Structure 1
Amino acid sequence: MRLNFFCRLNLELFFTIALFFSFTISALSQSQANSIRTDVTFQWLDVQANNNQPATLESITIGTEVYDIMAVPSAYELTRLGPDGHGRNEIRHGNVIINNNSSNVDWNDDALKSFQDRDLTHYFTSNHNGDDICTDFAAVATTDSQIQTLRYSPGIPSNEGGIIAITERNSNNCFYISFYGEPSGGGPEVFLGGDTFVLPNTTQSGPLFNAPPVGVDYWNSGRVVHNNGTIGIAIFTLEDLAPVGSVITRVDFTASSNDHGDGKMLILQRYASSKNEEGCRNNTFNGTVKDSSSPAGSTFTVISPPDPAGESFTFSSNGDYTYTPSPGFIGGDVVFEYEICLPAPNDTTCDREVVTINFQTGAACVCSSGNANAPNVGQLKIIKFKSAIMNKLNILLILVLFVTTISVAQVGIGTTNPQETLHVSGVNSTVRVDGLNSSSHSRNLGGSTNYNVMVDSEGTMTLGKQSGELLSVSNLASPVVVQTLPDSGLNSEELYTRNFVLEERALVVITFYVAVDFKTYDGTNMIDDGRAKVAHNYFYLGDGTTADTTKSYGMTSVVYSNVNCDTATGYIYNSRSMTIALEAGTHSIHLQGAVYGGGLNSDAAFSASFGNGDRLDIQAIYL
């Protein structure tokens, strides 16, 4: 490998031009989310008689649904300082500046307190520190706008029917927000596929209340901050930004207008759900109110005890409970109310619901449950122990209970009181299916490895595909020379294409490395004009033949500059790794190379040779 030598690097020019020119290729599978724009009202915990009084949000009502259960972040980070520096950033509470500079040691603590407060006059503010990139998804990857990160630990599940609210002083600044967390089913923190710009209004003043006009996301809420600026509130459906079943661990705020934005974000949704269970009147019923809609570490309590009381009732703080009917109980409904409270810092955020257990009579009564712990008859039950994705891909243990039904009889193994059609009891009990062993199934490779057991919509079980490497190749193609347009404008070409096949739905980890050699426009000389030259790499996905050019992925850039000599030789390397969820089928990677000299004039035009040191690695993590 040849080593680059820069005779004299003009750093000021290097960074100025690299940051000024935006990369205009299509964005990474991004689209504007639709905000909620009708039938909204806001309820407040206080009366605001003047600009210096609080505006504490009690709830948001959409139609007939009242949202008053709010989750706030557990940590705050100023992830990237904006171009105008620390002195532009402040924390305000009413007309008082709590913190006047983000370089202060207590900045993160003060900022977190503002993001946790329901009082919307207690907020982050910044004059400038942003770029005007609103609605330009492609510019997000290249802007130097300020980024603030909110973290949630434990993570907040995205539940059906949830919303988010983003506030803004004067309703006139744009945010770009993006959501990260655990995908549905578990795994490491990834981009959840949800991002959007929050579209601003013109500057709004006074206690106005009205719906957003066309092209705007902010409601005027009827409340103001100290400068008489109207508090804007934008509302989005949570599942549009974080799929139901995923767990939110991080939200990034990127300033998307020059004047940044002045506000905060709240997650509003339900965490308790009603439960309708069925039991047999002569049997003890074991159940749980805990499910995936509550964060880890939540606590559960009984608000109203069972009616009728029964012979005994126990309820654990983890949500598990046991109810034994009284002798002579003739059957019918047993009802109790429970409460869930989230872990700190949301320990005052609580939700309540009702559990109804219908005790049936007769020898053939069915004992069922809408949760994971109570019994289910005539259904396949699978317990899957999740692996650490990308670290221990092969450690998955499946316990399979094969249910055979003869009329309505229940069969017990190790128990004289079976609670299911087939009930295997005993410590460390196991079930063996010879059709899935290494002698009978091609995907069971034997040894000490454990394998996924999959079940389809018909209830048929088989072994899943083993996760691992799909492709690992180097020096994929002859170098491809890409020239800018004659005026040094952006130009791109395809470097190579590679296909891969997924037998099942999977998370696909794609990593590429590309060597880049910069030359003059005709490729005959080294560059020595002192101008910054930008090279981009990214890829399209395809169906094995044709690329879908409406979405680009994995964009990464490198900038080169050289002055007053022609001896700076050698390769510069671009690389990127990213994870994408794909369905079963044939897919293709179409790697692109692009060059940009600023669109200035023909003197700034140049060429770049991509290749002669490239590599592509593709791994599949089967779900």
Structure 2
Amino acid sequence: MKKIILLLFPLWMNAQIGIGTANPLADLHVGGNTSTIRIESLNAVNSPMYNNGIKPAHAFVNDSGDVTINPSVLNGTGPGGIIAPINFLLTNNNFIPDGASNRGQILNNITSATSSAGLITTVDFSSAGTALIEVKYSISVLLSKTDLNISETAFNDVSARTYKIYFCIDINDDGLSAIELSKKYGLNAQSYASDDQGILGYAYTNGHGYSTIPAGNHSLHFFAETTDGANKHTSIGFGGMQDLLRVRIYN
């Protein structure tokens, strides 16, 4: 008499894999409070466009569930992207030259005029693609009733002065056009009023602005303007003590 042995196998199996743990609580559970996961295809050698090896790269998940650091609209398979990690293009703790007198870039508003304007400094930068940039600046300001190129003197004329700081963006770094010069970003203004016993000291002006730029080389042009009363002399040094510039890119 022949015997028939019937083997039954489940149609599916639901197993959880544990690494460093005997009790996995997910489909893949990596245990240990110092555990890490490495995907070598995403490192700085294999993906230098999105992982520069210095700053941590953000990871994205495409519609197939694949982990990628390419934020492309083509689900991580094409070049470029519109949701790339935020990066600082540059950070400069002394972007304004201190000048021969070590009082920064000096703007004089002479007694025969009531207003004056001038360029403080220019900063070059570049972008690998079309992007939104954020520019933040902090600039020290020193005011004097005598030319700061020679000496500094406190005000004692019971009068008020105002000054403005802003920057323009030279797209493609080919010289400011009339349109580029008319767009004043990060505009900030302050006033200074003196009594008959004025003192010398540094004030600080902070500002920031945003703009969309194309790929290529560009430059920031920082300007200052000052106004005072009739027959008054105002000398202002920008960046003589401390100044900070940060340019952040959202691409």
Q: TM-score, normalised by structure 2?
A: 0.64
Q: Aligned to 2:134, which of 509, 516, 537?
A: 509
User: Secondary structure at 2:184's aligned position in 1?
Assistant: strand
Pair 1:444–1:526, CA change in 2 (3 A): closer
CA contact (8 A) 1:443 1:466 kept: no
Pair 1:444–1:601, CA change in 2 (3 A): closer
CA contact (8 A) 1:488 1:606 kept: no
Q: Supply the distance in 2 between the matched residues of 1:578 and 1:486 (Cα, whole angstroms).
A: 33
Listed as ranges, the matches of 1:180-195 within 5 Å are: none
CA contact (8 A) 2:133 2:213 kept: yes
Kindly state the Cα deviation for residue 592 of structure 1 after the two structures are TM-superposed.
1.0
Listed as ranges, the matches of 1:95-244 within 5 Å are: none
2:163 corresponds to 1:531: no
For 1:519, the equivalent position in structure 2 comes to 144
Q: Aligned to 2:71, which of 430, 446, 453?
A: 453
Kindly state the Cα deviation for residue 454 of structure 1 after the two structures are TM-superposed.
2.2
For 2:207, the equivalent position in structure 1 comes to 576
CA contact (8 A) 1:528 1:561 kept: no
Pair 1:601–1:507, CA change in 2 (3 A): same
Q: Supply the distance in 1 between the matched residues of 2:137 and 2:107 (Cα, whole angstroms).
A: 18
Q: Aligned to 2:93, which of 474, 488, 497?
A: 474
CA contact (8 A) 1:483 1:608 kept: yes
Amino acid at match of 1:461: G
Pair 1:522–1:584, CA change in 2 (3 A): same
Listed as ranges, the matches of 1:211-360 within 5 Å are: none
Amino acid at match of 2:223: Q
Structure 1 runs of 4+ aligned residues shifted over 3 Å read: 436-440, 444-449, 463-466, 485-488, 521-524
User: What CA RMSD, in Å, does the superposition of the two structures yield over aligned residues?
Assistant: 2.9
Kindly state the Cα deviation for residue 443 of structure 1 after the two structures are TM-superposed.
2.8
CA contact (8 A) 2:169 2:218 kept: yes
Amino acid at match of 1:551: K
Q: Supply the distance in 2 between the matched residues of 1:449 and 1:549 (Cα, whole angstroms).
A: 36
For 1:562, the equivalent position in structure 2 comes to 194
Kindly state the Cα deviation for residue 594 of structure 1 after the two structures are TM-superposed.
1.5
User: Secondary structure at 2:48's aligned position in 1?
Assistant: coil
Pair 1:493–1:507, CA change in 2 (3 A): same
Amino acid at match of 1:473: N
User: Secondary structure at 1:549's aligned position in 2?
Assistant: helix
For 2:49, the equivalent position in structure 1 comes to 443
Q: Aligned to 2:175, which of 543, 546, 559?
A: 546
Write the deviation string for residues 215-272 of structure 1: whole angstroms up to 9, x where unpaired.
xxxxxxxxxxxxxxxxxxxxxxxxxxxxxxxxxxxxxxxxxxxxxxxxxxxxxxxxxx
2:209 corresponds to 1:592: no
Amino acid at match of 2:184: S
Kindly state the Cα deviation for residue 582 of structure 1 after the two structures are TM-superposed.
1.7
CA contact (8 A) 1:517 1:608 kept: yes
Amino acid at match of 1:582: I
Amino acid at match of 2:114: G
Amino acid at match of 1:453: P
Kindly state the Cα deviation for residue 448 of structure 1 after the two structures are TM-superposed.
8.0
Pair 1:586–1:448, CA change in 2 (3 A): closer
Write the deviation string for residues 273-293 of structure 1: whole angstroms up to 9, x where unpaired.
xxxxxxxxxxxxxxxxxxxxx
Amino acid at match of 2:92: V
For 1:609, the equivalent position in structure 2 comes to 237
Q: Supply the distance in 1 between the matched residues of 2:238 and 2:196 (Cα, whole angstroms).
A: 24
Gapped regions of structure 2 (runs ≥ 5): 1-26, 28-38, 60-68, 99-103
Q: Supply the distance in 2 between the matched residues of 1:596 and 1:448 (Cα, whole angstroms).
A: 47
Write the deviation string for residues 394-448 of structure 1: whole angstroms up to 9, x where unpaired.
xxxxxxxxxxxxxxxxxxxxxxxxxxxxxxxxxx9xxxxx9x7446432353988
CA contact (8 A) 2:185 2:208 kept: no
Q: Supply the distance in 2 between the matched residues of 1:444 and 1:551 (Cα, whole angstroms).
A: 32
Q: Supply the distance in 1 between the matched residues of 2:110 and 2:200 (Cα, whole angstroms).
A: 23
Q: Supply the distance in 1 between the matched residues of 2:146 and 2:57 (Cα, whole angstroms).
A: 58
Kindly state the Cα deviation for residue 589 of structure 1 after the two structures are TM-superposed.
0.6
> What is the number of equivalent residue pairs in this alignment?
184
User: Secondary structure at 2:182's aligned position in 1?
Assistant: strand
Amino acid at match of 1:554: G
Q: Supply the distance in 1 between the matched residues of 2:139 and 2:118 (Cα, whole angstroms).
A: 14
User: Secondary structure at 1:565's aligned position in 2?
Assistant: coil
Pair 1:463–1:582, CA change in 2 (3 A): closer
Percent of aligned pairs with the same residue?
A: 19
Q: Supply the distance in 1 between the matched residues of 2:225 and 2:132 (Cα, whole angstroms).
A: 27
Pair 1:442–1:522, CA change in 2 (3 A): closer
Q: Supply the distance in 2 between the matched residues of 1:553 and 1:444 (Cα, whole angstroms).
A: 29
Write the deviation string for residues 20-58 of structure 1: whole angstroms up to 9, x where unpaired.
xxxxxxxxxxxxxxxxxxxxxxxxxxxxxxxxxxxxxxx
Q: Supply the distance in 1 between the matched residues of 2:57 and 2:175 (Cα, whole angstroms).
A: 42
Q: Supply the distance in 1 between the matched residues of 2:57 and 2:126 (Cα, whole angstroms).
A: 27
Listed as ranges, the matches of 1:66-105 within 5 Å are: none
User: Secondary structure at 2:72's aligned position in 1?
Assistant: strand
User: Secondary structure at 2:181's aligned position in 1?
Assistant: strand
